[in-house]
């Protein structure tokens, strides 16, 4: 800022200020924290500026009156203020703009309404300034708080879903419990009946434990159950479902899969189980499974009949000595 004060024209009076301000938007003048200015467009000097604005900008007793923007602000800020004035002048009506800059060691975020003023043949620019820095900082804090609350709500919802999912899963195998599986099976039967599409049901049973597994007791059994769960989760698609059906028995629903394809996939799973190496406390454990496969509607026309057919197929696989895949008998109409 220059050391000498530039006084406004002597012809400018308080009455002139009142007349000029009367042409500005009254609602803006009445808003809290708003300050008015009137500038002579010919000289670029402020003819009037509220004392509160000078105080906010740290200009002291000199104020803005008699100065240009180039006297008061850095060149970039002055150019931005001038550009906004030119836009308001070209539009010939109220024009709103925002200006962010630092002055007197303080960050300012001004919202400025400018409006050309005609008064006694002079070309004037009236403006109402509002420093929104504190208001916007509060708004930002509020947004941050709301985002934090929303994130907490998302975290709580994710935790709730995880807890619900854990409640539906068997802790040893990591597979769904029987009740959840049976509900999916009911939905698959309804879908198959409506859309005339086939699906397969599989029962798997872990064969008699090997001597090494029996020697480890419950720890060995748990290691085998965990391995079985991993194999079933990794060997089924997203639309399929698997569960721990009983103590050593598991069930798999293969959506949209026919009997032949189901047999092929389960034969592959049987081989994986037979060659799977389970390590517990430095000991290698092995296990095999017996598998029964049935399909809807080829081997049964109801959910109860499907379960019975699959159970019978599994019993047959066990009677053959285990480590085998057996298909349920196909029903023939009129047989």
- CATH number, domain of 87, equals 3.30.450.20
Residue 118: pLDDT band (50, 70, 90) is confident
Residue 10 pLDDT greater than 50, yes or no? no
- Please give the structure tokens belonging to residue 240: 């399929």
* Contacts of residue 131, Cβ cutoff 8 Å, sequence gap at least 6: 33, 56, 108, 109, 110
Domain count within the chain: 3
Task: Report how far residue 258's alpha carbon sits from residue 248's, in angstroms, rounded to the nearest whole number.
Answer: 25
* Lowest mean pLDDT, pick from 126-135, 154-163, 203-212: 154-163
- Does one domain contain both 190 and 313? yes
Q: What pLDDT, on a 0 to 100 scale, did the predictor assign at position 30? A: 57
Tell me, yes or no, whether 188 and 215 share the same domain. Answer: yes
Mark whether 145 and 266 lie in a shared domain: no
Shared domain for 97 and 156, answered yes or no, is no
**3 state DSSP class of 269:** helix
**Cα–Cα distance measured from residue 106 to residue 249, given in angstroms and rounded to the nearest whole number:** 73
Domain for residue 105, yes or no? yes
Which one is predicted more confidently, 253 or 102?
A: 253
Last residue of a domain, one of 75, 110, 131: 131
Residues 181, 226 within the same domain = yes
For the cut 60, the answer to whether the pLDDT of residue 222 exceeds it is: yes
- pLDDT at residue 156 tops 90: no
Same domain? For 218 and 85 the reply is no
- Residue 78 in this model has a pLDDT that exceeds 90: yes
334 pLDDT exceeds 70?
no
- One domain for residues 103 and 179: no
Q: Give mean pLDDT, residues 74-91.
A: 93
Asked if residue 3 belongs to a domain, the reply is no
**Is residue 37, in this structure, part of any structural domain at all?**
yes
Is there a domain that residue 323 lies in?
Answer: yes
Let me know whether 247 and 120 are in one domain. no
What confidence score (pLDDT) does residue 93 get? 85
pLDDT interval class at 38 (50, 70, 90): very high
The secondary element (H helix, E strand) that includes residue 21 is helix 14-21
Neighbours of 318 (CB within 10 A): 17
Q: How many CB atoms lie within 10 A of CB 165?
A: 11
pLDDT-derived band at 210 (thresholds 50, 70, 90) equals confident
> Is 6 inside a domain boundary?
no
| pLDDT value of residue 1 | 42
323 & 176 share domain: yes
* Residue 88 lies in domain: 14-131
Residues 231 and 258 in one domain: yes
Residue 335 has pLDDT above 60, yes or no: no
The answer to whether 230 touches 280, Cβ cutoff 8 Å, is: no
Vertex 171 angle, CA 169 and 177, to 5°: 30
For the chain, the average pLDDT equals 86
The verdict on 265 and 124 lying in the same domain is no
The residue among 83, 107, 131 that closes a domain is: 131
CB 207 within 8 A of CB 214: no
**Do 114 and 161 fall into the same domain?**
no
């Amino acid at each position: 800022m220059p050391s000498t004060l530039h006084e406004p024209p002597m012809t400018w009076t308080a009455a002139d200020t009142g007349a000029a301000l009367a042409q500005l938007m009254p609602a803006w003048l009445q808003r809290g924290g708003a300050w008015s200015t009137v500038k002579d467009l010919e000289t670029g000097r402020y003819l009037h500026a509220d004392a509160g604005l000078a105080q906010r900008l740290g200009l002291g007793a000199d104020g803005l009156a008699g100065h240009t923007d180039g006297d008061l602000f850095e060149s970039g800020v002055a150019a931005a203020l001038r550009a906004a004035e030119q836009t308001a002048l070209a539009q010939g009506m109220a024009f709103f703009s925002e200006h962010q800059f630092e002055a007197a060691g303080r960050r300012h975020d001004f919202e400025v309404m400018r409006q050309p003023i005609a008064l006694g043949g002079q070309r004037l620019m009236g403006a109402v300034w509002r420093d929104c820095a504190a208001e916007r900082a509060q708004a930002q804090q509020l947004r941050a708080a709301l985002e934090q609350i929303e994130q907490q709500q998302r975290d709580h919802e994710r935790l709730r879903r995880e807890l619900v999912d854990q409640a539906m899963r068997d802790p040893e195998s990591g597979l769904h419990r029987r009740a959840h599986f049976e509900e999916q099976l009911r939905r698959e039967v309804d879908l198959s009946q409506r859309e005339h599409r086939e699906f397969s049901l599989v029962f798997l049973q872990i064969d008699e434990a090997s001597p090494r597994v029996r020697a480890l007791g419950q720890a060995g059994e748990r290691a085998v159950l965990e391995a079985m769960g991993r194999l079933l989760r990794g060997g089924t698609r997203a639309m399929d479902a698997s569960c721990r059906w009983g103590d050593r028995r598991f069930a798999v629903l293969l959506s949209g899969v026919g009997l032949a394809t189901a047999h092929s996939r389960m034969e592959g799973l049987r081989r994986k189980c037979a060659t799977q190496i389970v390590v517990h406390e430095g000991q290698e454990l092995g296990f095999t499974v017996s598998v029964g496969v049935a399909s809807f509607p080829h081997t049964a026309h109801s959910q109860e009949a499907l379960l019975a057919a699959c159970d019978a197929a599994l019993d047959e696989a066990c009677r053959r000595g285990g480590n085998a895949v057996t298909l349920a008998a196909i029903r023939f109409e009129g047989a």
